[in-house]
Structure 1
Amino acid sequence: MPAMAENVLQMLMGMVDSYLVASLGLVAISGVSVAGNIIAIYQAIFIALGAAISSVLARSMGAGDQKSQANHATGALTMTLLMSLILGLISLCFGQEILSLLGTEKLVAEAGGIFLAIVGGTIVFLGLMTSLGALVRTTGNPRLPMYVSLLTNVLNAFFSSFFIFILDWGIVGVALGTVLARLVGVVVLWKSLTISFAKPSWSLDRELLRLSLPAAGERLMMRAGDVVIIALVVRFGTQAVAGNAIGEVLTQFNYMPAFGIATATVLLVARSLGQGNREEISQIARKSYWLTLGFMLPLALLIYAFGTPLTQLYTQDKEAVAASLLVILFSLLGTPFTIGTVIYTAVWQGLGNGKLPFYATTIGMWGIRIGTGYLLGVTLGLGLPGIWAGTLLDNAFRWLFLGLLYKKRIGA
């Protein structure tokens, strides 16, 4: 429950940013939306690293190995800082060029480039919040990261509103509000750590690297594919981009139970594996799926029922509203598939096998989602419905792929 609430609060920050940016016009919300998809790639990489941190640390705790715990904690911070440096430099040096390559209009690319340079250039704060949160959560304090997320949301809303409506700093103000709020979150989490650290070294944690690289690769394939999907949506016009962005912001809340329970699933599976209790893992997987469905389906139905008034909080443009409602509908239809994909990915990561989710996502995203989306949406002219039909097929494939292989392993 704390992990679920934390995910909801993290997404609420993006929702608040989108709402504030919406006051600046469709060009601004489109630019920040496209930039947000690049930042989502970064966030996905750090989430994957956080899952790997939780897995290796929970396994060490299950085995009672304190020296290994200290080594993993130090390795986690080292890898976080290294990734942040690389991603931050990419954002600062090539941000606007990346958005232009996606086919966005000049004004949209300029608006998004500003946001990406500021938020992406200081991505170290998001990275540290994710990794420190994983350390704090795994070592027995799952509620604190939730409280920190609540704090950063309140600060983000305050800072961003002040910079936009009082100082009139526009997109720069929204970006600075996000950065400052995350900085405060990093400080609070750092001061709350109770785990011991090993002496820093230039070598990377091999066990953490072995699990985090496939997990990061899986997230990278997913988010990079999302950027390609956005490039396809751009073909349908600014209204379609804005409506698609608003729909995705609203439906993010559908997925929060899945991501929260997946976090717990990784921890529980890894701890059971460390204790040698393999029979419990199947029960964890089964309960995780049905528990997620019980939380996620009512949320999806609620957002679908109130889709129009929720979308109109962002824009009154009829084409953008229609595009947003389409996204909400497809999100509802794909609920069972999405849950299966997320939960079985978490199970395999908890088992220490990040390669299978990587293979499933690479094939599903690049072979099915993008291929089907291009065929239906662009070639056959179905537009946005064709793009989202590809998304449903992708999630269905990955659920079957990961679920059947897991059942085969258990049967063996």
Structure 2
Amino acid sequence: MKSIKQILSLALPAMVENILQMLMGVVDSYLVAQVGLIAVSGVSVANNIITIYQAVFIALGASCASLIAKAMGEGDEVKTNRFIWDSILVTVLLSLALGLLSLLAGSSMMSLLGTVTSVTEAGSLYLYLVGGGILFLGLMTTFGSVLRAQGKPKVSMNVSLMSNLLNAVLSAMSIYCFHWGIVGVAGATVLSRLIGTVVLWLVMKLDIKSYQISKPFNRDLLHLVFPAAGERLMMRAGDVVIIAIVVKFGTEVVAGNAIGETLTQFNYMPGMGVATATVILVAHSLGAGKKEEIKSLVATSYWISTLLMMVVAATVYFLGSGLTGLFTENSRAVEASVVVLLYSFMGNPITSGTLIYTAVWQGLGKAQLPFYATTFGMWVIRIILGYLLGISLNMGLSGVWLATILDNLFRVIFLYTMYRKNMKTI
């Protein structure tokens, strides 16, 4: 019972925070849609790039939380403090690099995604501003991870809520009152994140005099960050290839697949929240040398994640046709969307396993295994098998999603088997 309460106390705020971060991009797209079709198309494409940045920051945050929680479990205040400052420094350096990339190559990245000139110009403007100010998204993510590792998950959730509400108000004012268009919406997004960053910094109460980084730089952190970030990038890059396969089935199927994926995003929120809790709790127990507690936490995390995900997925699936109808009345698109909802629902227990056991390995400080599993699963199983089933065997979208389930099945079996072996040596 104690482990259930521990998991939920960390997981529920993380779930809410994930939803709020997703909604910020949705709000921006909705308000920009009032400007025109070209504007909303540009912002939507630019947000795909911002989403990649966000995935990297989430991986970084999980790595930071793992090491901080482990140090706290060991009762080492000096190491804990050093990990916090190391995490902040890595976040700043990575954010500056991504910010410069957005400013110097934003237009080129938009063009590579195949957008026409007018959409490229609109999206580039948004990417220059939001991508250029990506530092504040990075710091908010890392600060939130630090607070969760310290047992204060509701703080970052509340600040995210405040930041989203502020963004909605400022963006609406920029569109309806001042008519600033994309510049106003992008500026509101950056400003709201800046304010959120400042609030989190004040809540953390870090003493600048305690600033201390590892020399030479923290190898433990880098050994976690690079594989964790690489795992997310492999997923995102593979998704682009999968879309290229889906395009072969026609525009209506592409639209239906996109609608289905939009709806099924909510299926994964519980699992992602529980995974966030799992990273922290496993790392803390590892630092405290409590092997049996780790086993109990992992098993409990999996069942909580699976149960919550199945409840959400079942709700989305059984309301599928009606929800899809809010987006389109095209029968073939609706049919494709329902295929996505069905396979997502059926594959949820497996997907839950991939989320939880990826988190377990990050908590154990060995993020390389999930990186290897995701790289092989995505690029060898999901993509190749998706092409063979979907196109060569004429199974269409069902073939692509069956390959997705088989990819996740491979990963969960691999990660679970290696976990069982690893626990015998701890």
TM-score (norm: length of structure 1): 0.90
In the TM superposition, what is the alpha-carbon distance from 1:109 to its structure 2 partner? 4.2
1:54–1:334 Cα change, 3 Å:
same
Please say if residues 132 and 189 of structure 1, whose CA atoms lie closer than 8 Å, have aligned partners that are also in contact: yes
Letter matched to residue 61 of structure 1: M
In the TM superposition, what is the alpha-carbon distance from 1:178 to its structure 2 partner? 2.4
Please say if residues 136 and 142 of structure 1, whose CA atoms lie closer than 8 Å, have aligned partners that are also in contact: yes
After TM superposition, the structure 1 = structure 2 runs for residues 223-372 of structure 1, keeping only pairs within 5 Å, are 223-234=236-247, 240-315=253-328, 320-372=333-385
In the TM superposition, what is the alpha-carbon distance from 1:288 to its structure 2 partner? 0.4
Q: Distance in 2 between matches of 1:335 and 1:374?
A: 22
1:409 equivalenced with 2:409 (yes/no): no
1:84 equivalenced with 2:95 (yes/no): yes
Q: Distance in 1 between matches of 2:253 and 2:107?
A: 21
Q: Distance in 1 between matches of 2:166 and 2:199?
A: 13
1:146 equivalenced with 2:157 (yes/no): yes
In the TM superposition, what is the alpha-carbon distance from 1:242 to its structure 2 partner? 4.8
1:40–1:402 Cα change, 3 Å:
same
In the TM superposition, what is the alpha-carbon distance from 1:228 to its structure 2 partner? 3.0
Q: Distance in 2 between matches of 1:61 and 1:27?
A: 50
* From 98, 121, 125, the counterpart of 2:132: 121
Letter matched to residue 157 of structure 1: A
Letter matched to residue 201 of structure 2: W
Q: Distance in 1 between matches of 2:116 and 2:395?
A: 22
**Most deviating of 299-308 and 146-155:** 299-308
Letter matched to residue 260 of structure 2: G
Q: Distance in 2 between matches of 1:183 and 1:403?
A: 40
Letter matched to residue 16 of structure 1: V
Please say if residues 29 and 242 of structure 1, whose CA atoms lie closer than 8 Å, have aligned partners that are also in contact: no
**Most deviating of 167-176 and 131-140:** 167-176
1:325–1:203 Cα change, 3 Å:
farther
Letter matched to residue 258 of structure 1: G
1:189–1:408 Cα change, 3 Å:
same
**Most deviating of 62-71 and 327-336:** 327-336
In the TM superposition, what is the alpha-carbon distance from 1:320 to its structure 2 partner? 5.0
Q: Distance in 2 between matches of 1:13 and 1:81?
A: 22
Please say if residues 78 and 204 of structure 1, whose CA atoms lie closer than 8 Å, have aligned partners that are also in contact: no
Q: Distance in 2 between matches of 1:333 and 1:62?
A: 38
In the TM superposition, what is the alpha-carbon distance from 1:217 to its structure 2 partner? 1.3
Q: Distance in 2 between matches of 1:384 and 1:28?
A: 30
1:16–1:52 Cα change, 3 Å:
same
Unmatched 5+ stretches in structure 1 = none
Q: Distance in 2 between matches of 1:96 and 1:244?
A: 27
1:68–1:359 Cα change, 3 Å:
same
1:95–1:228 Cα change, 3 Å:
farther
Please say if residues 218 and 362 of structure 1, whose CA atoms lie closer than 8 Å, have aligned partners that are also in contact: yes
In the TM superposition, what is the alpha-carbon distance from 1:22 to its structure 2 partner? 5.2
After TM superposition, the structure 1 = structure 2 runs for residues 129-278 of structure 1, keeping only pairs within 5 Å, are 129-196=140-207, 197-199=210-212, 204-234=217-247, 240-278=253-291
Letter matched to residue 304 of structure 1: Y
**Most deviating of 349-358 and 156-165:** 156-165
Structure 2 residue matching 1:192: 3-state secondary structure = helix
Q: Distance in 2 between matches of 1:319 and 1:17?
A: 29
* From 6, 30, 42, the counterpart of 2:17: 6
Please say if residues 83 and 213 of structure 2, whose CA atoms lie closer than 8 Å, have aligned partners that are also in contact: no
Please say if residues 30 and 108 of structure 1, whose CA atoms lie closer than 8 Å, have aligned partners that are also in contact: yes
* From 35, 46, 51, the counterpart of 2:46: 35
Structure 1 residue matching 2:217: 3-state secondary structure = coil
In the TM superposition, what is the alpha-carbon distance from 1:200 to its structure 2 partner? 5.5
Please say if residues 103 and 231 of structure 1, whose CA atoms lie closer than 8 Å, have aligned partners that are also in contact: no
In the TM superposition, what is the alpha-carbon distance from 1:233 to its structure 2 partner? 4.2
Provide the residue aligned with 1:97 in structure 2.
Answer: 108
Unmatched 5+ stretches in structure 2 = 1-11
Encode CA deviations 1:310-329: one digit per residue, 9 max, x unaligned: 34445556555554444333
In the TM superposition, what is the alpha-carbon distance from 1:365 to its structure 2 partner? 1.3
Provide the residue aligned with 1:395 in structure 2.
Answer: 408
**Most deviating of 322-331 and 203-212:** 322-331
After TM superposition, the structure 1 = structure 2 runs for residues 366-381 of structure 1, keeping only pairs within 5 Å, are 366-378=379-391
1:177–1:384 Cα change, 3 Å:
farther
Encode CA deviations 1:143-177: one digit per residue, 9 max, x unaligned: 10010111122122222223334444444444333
Letter matched to residue 204 of structure 1: F
Q: Distance in 1 between matches of 2:69 and 2:213?
A: 21
How many percent identity over aligned positions? 57
Letter matched to residue 89 of structure 2: T
Please say if residues 262 and 343 of structure 1, whose CA atoms lie closer than 8 Å, have aligned partners that are also in contact: yes
